[in-house]
Amino acid sequence: MDQFALHQFFVPSKDLTNQAALAHRRAVTAASPSLPHQAGKAFRRFQKLLISPPPRRVVVPHNARRRATQDYRVKVAGELRPNIDFERLARILIDIVDEREREKRAGKSDASDQSDRRPRGRS
């Protein structure tokens, strides 16, 4: 929520002049009066993290061998991108299609290789 408030109020992804930025902030404040306060608090928390980042903690399990065999879920959160990058999205979709086509071709070539290896009956 902090990142969204910062982006919505300060619009760092756009190159605005000072006057355009002030006009944007007035319009956003009119639509959502609490947004400047939320963005200010979020910016203050961000500044505190820059000045003194939280200490990194390393946890070593008491039974590392058993835990190493367990599956872990990793949650990855991306950065907020207020505007869709259509070129990047298109490249990703093209890569997915290309990969699936390669998998299909590999599957067909494996099937044809296996058909050649079948033992032939007596003639």
Chain position carrying tokens 């494996």? 110
Amino acid in the structure at residue 95:
D
Q: What is the mean pLDDT of residues 28-52?
A: 89
Tell me the per-residue pLDDT of 46-82, one tens digit each, with 9 for 90 and over.
Answer: 888 888 877 666 565 565 555 555 555 666 666 666 6
Q: pTM value?
A: 0.44
More confident residue, 92 or 1: 92
Amino acid in the structure at residue 77:
A
pLDDT, position 23: 95
Is the pLDDT score of 120 beyond 70? no
- C-beta separation of 36 from 9 below 8 A: yes
